[in-house]
């Protein structure tokens, strides 16, 4: 019966739910303490606040690469991965803070448009996109696509969630099985924001707060015909939704997520912008070190 439910995003298959929960909780407590909320930090550290991680990475077991060059993605999932990769490169092009990063991404899109053709088979375009992403400044600094298999697997996690119903329903159930009437906050990162969005639309009791950060919810490859439900709207039983984004986070599709929702939606607030450290602006613990992310939770913990 957790008061705080966390929902992780993409990442390595050997990163356990317990480790993620401990890392996130430690980062939360540190930020609370650094911002004069020592009592709330002590409650987190002592376990007085019940915390759980909705873990679903084990659902990707069939897609885990066996070596540095292995890509274990069926053709439809690989094709969706290409769509997601294209959108990510476009994100860098549109809102990177460094003009050189934007220009580099624009050249990459132009080059890939010329080189990628249907005659190459389903996996080769994905490998090409992953290779190109690995050379782009914001992605290369994060290590997201350091190896072809790593980058393809990370993109494959997003694509498999969208295309593999077993993965999708398992991830949604991981959230719903942990959210109870005692839950005060759902805290979601990266792909976890998509999982939380879909899961909370099935929720049948009030939830005071959802905090999302590093969210790809605005990606065209996700919202166009794949995100459920359509059109975009806040979950009916959610009372408040705070979204946080770094403009150099390559996963973040839009810095104005609120504009994709109905004008009369009073639940989702205007996106809070932060500036994470340059080497990995998408990292969950980077977001959790920012008061803009943690402040909405402070009064509830």
Of 227, 282, 225, 279, nearest in space to 8 by CA: 282
- pLDDT at position 160 over 60: yes
Phi, psi of 269 (to 5 degrees): -90, 170
What is the pLDDT at residue 43? 94
42-56, 77-91, 114-128, 166-180: least confident range:
114-128
- Structure confidence at residue 119 as a pLDDT band (50, 70, 90): low
Q: Say what the pTM is.
A: 0.94
Q: What is the tens place of the pLDDT at every residue in 281-299?
A: 999 999 999 999 999 999 8
Three-state DSSP state, 243: strand
Please give the pLDDT value at position 8: 98
Q: Report the C-alpha gap between 142 and 154 in whole angstroms.
A: 13
Q: Does the pLDDT at position 32 exceed 80?
A: yes
Among 43-52, 83-92, 139-148, 203-212, which stretch is predicted with the lowest mean pLDDT? 139-148
269-277 long-range Cβ contacts below 8 angstroms, 24+ apart? 269/240, 269/241, 269/242, 269/243, 271/243, 271/244, 271/245, 272/242, 272/243, 272/244, 272/245, 273/244, 273/245, 273/246, 273/247, 274/244, 274/245, 274/246, 275/246, 275/248, 276/246, 276/248, 276/249
Q: Please state, in angstroms and rounded to a whole number, the distance separating the CA atoms of residues 283 and 189.
A: 9
Instruction: State the pLDDT confidence band at 140, using cuts at 50, 70 and 90.
Output: confident
39 contact partners, CB below 8 Å, separation of at least 6: none
Whether the CB-CB separation of 249 and 241 falls below 8 Å is answered with: no
- Among the residue ranges 66-80, 140-154, 215-229, 260-274, the one predicted with the least confidence is 140-154
């Amino acid at each position: 019966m957790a008061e705080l439910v966390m929902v992780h995003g993409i990442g390595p298959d050997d990163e356990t739910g317990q480790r993620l929960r401990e890392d996130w909780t430690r980062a939360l407590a540190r930020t609370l303490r650094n911002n004069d909320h020592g009592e709330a930090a002590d409650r987190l550290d002592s376990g007085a606040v019940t915390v759980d991680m909705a873990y679903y990475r084990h659902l990707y077991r069939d897609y885990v690469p066996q070596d540095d060059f292995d890509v274990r993605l069926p053709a439809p999932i690989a094709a969706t991965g290409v769509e997601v990769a294209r959108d990510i490169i476009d994100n860098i092009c549109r809102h990177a803070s460094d003009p050189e990063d934007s220009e580099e991404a624009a050249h990459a899109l132009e080059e890939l448009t010329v080189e990628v053709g249907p005659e190459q088979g389903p996996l080769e375009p994905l490998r090409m996109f992953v290779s190109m992403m690995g050379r782009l400044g914001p992605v290369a600094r994060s290590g997201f696509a350091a190896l072809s298999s790593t980058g393809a697997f990370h993109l494959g996690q997003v694509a498999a969630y969208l295309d593999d119903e077993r993965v999708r329903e398992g991830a949604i159930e991981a959230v719903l099985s942990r959210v109870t009437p005692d839950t005060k906050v759902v805290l979601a990162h990266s792909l976890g924001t998509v999982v939380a969005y879909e899961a909370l639309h099935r929720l049948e009791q009030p939830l005071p707060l959802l905090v999302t950060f590093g969210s790809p919810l605005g990606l065209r490859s996700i919202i166009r015909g794949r995100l459920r439900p359509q059109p975009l709207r806040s979950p009916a039983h959610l009372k408040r939704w705070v979204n946080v984004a770094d403009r150099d986070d390559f996963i973040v599709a839009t810095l104005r997520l609120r504009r994709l929702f109905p004008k009369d939606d009073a639940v989702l607030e205007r996106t809070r912008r932060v500036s994470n450290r340059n080497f990995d602006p998408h990292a969950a613990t980077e977001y959790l070190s920012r008061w803009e992310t943690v402040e909405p939770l402070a009064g509830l913990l």
